Amino acid sequence: MRRRVVVTGLGLVTPIGLTVEATWSALLAGRSGVDYIHKFDVEKFPVRFAAEVRDFDPLKFAEKKEARKMGAFIHYAVAASDEALADSRLEITDEISDRVGTYISSGIGDFWAIEREHEKLLHDGPGRVSPFFIPSAIINLAAGQVSIRHKARGYLSATATACSAGAHAIGDSLKVIQRGDADVMICGGAESAITPMSVAGFAAMRALSTRNDDPAHASRPFDRDRDGFVLGEGAGLMILEELEFAKSRGAKIYAEVVGYGNTADAFHITMPDETASGQLRVMQMALRDAGVEPDEVDYVNAHGTSTPYNDKFETLAIKQAFGAHAYKLAVSSTKSMTGHALGAAGGIEAVFSVLAIHHQTLPPTINYVTPDPECDLDYVPNEAREVAQVRHALSNSFGFGGTNAALLFKRYEE
């Protein structure tokens, strides 16, 4: 019997809310977080909009001196960790700190620091580069700062698996607890990559939507007229605990984590395999890991990027994985509201999947106007849906390099 793992705390910083409550409320209202970019001058850019985190004040979470040592993605991770731990009501004492781990991933880290300090290097010389440049930029410092802040002295890690990173952090944390290397994991993803270089790079790849005249409707997953993804940012973290440990302290339990899949397309650096083999196998792996039959799953929070190929092939993979049951599933892409937060997306969307189970309510896919014959599933169009039951929810995350992750959550039962 392997150890059971449950979710006891949630934390979010997103373009539609700075807390779990604010984000979930906006999500169910179908509110878009996409607007024109305010972080830098976009006049010369082919894409001038994104889903930015607004009104976030890092000084609410750290003193000015400490905040200067952190990139924005670390600020978001710290804020989300504070909320998740407060939500779980877990006090990390000396007695348990060696059994509390931290696993927070990112796809890019702090591009802002790289661009800013490179500019200083070119114009003012190496002596002007900040001594905090490296610790503010490198990917593992989100996990490192959270570990230091909360005195979590157990398992510590971070992955840089592109848009699957946040989901891999949660899935790997599940396995850490199952095999007995920790009793608690603070885990998820954080990202802040809405920068000149990032926007220019993704635009050069022709990966981004170019609806500069209508940003709020630019992210339209599974819609026939989708034309690319919208950059987002933020953090999504959760507290995972071994079941008996959680019960022993009377913890509130949102859901159980029961399955995890991790596969590679082994096909192309950016294009998904047209057979959808990697996406199919990762969902099958998560189901197999959980011992759950396809017809027991009620909801899929899709990767759903709003790019022509991703949505088409993800739909194909879902139909292959679930057979006839695929047409009874509810599938939605919350990226229609939050944009694509890259390495944070898997963490944010895992939180949404847990909340869907907890509230028995499905978030919508907004901006769904014109059906695509090749995307013919129930995408919960435009309005949230209360349902009779969400027993199992699957969260998909796929990334450049052909990296795939799937997390399966279950309504908690004794």
By the 10 Å C-beta count (0-12 exposed, 13-18 middle, 19+ buried), 350 is classed as: buried
Whether 37 contacts 49, CB under 8 Å: yes
d(CA 73, CA 77): 6
> Helices in 60-140 by DSSP H: which ranges?
64-67, 72-88, 111-124, 133-137
Angle between the 141-150 and 72-88 helix axes, to the nearest 10 degrees?
40
Cβ neighbours of 66 (radius 10 Å): 14
State how far Cα 26 lies from the chain centre.
Answer: 17
- Residue positions annotated with a catalytic role: 163, 303, 340
Whether 83 contacts 77, CB under 8 Å: no
d(CA 378, CA 110): 37
Of 412, 87, 414, residue with least CA distance to 255: 412
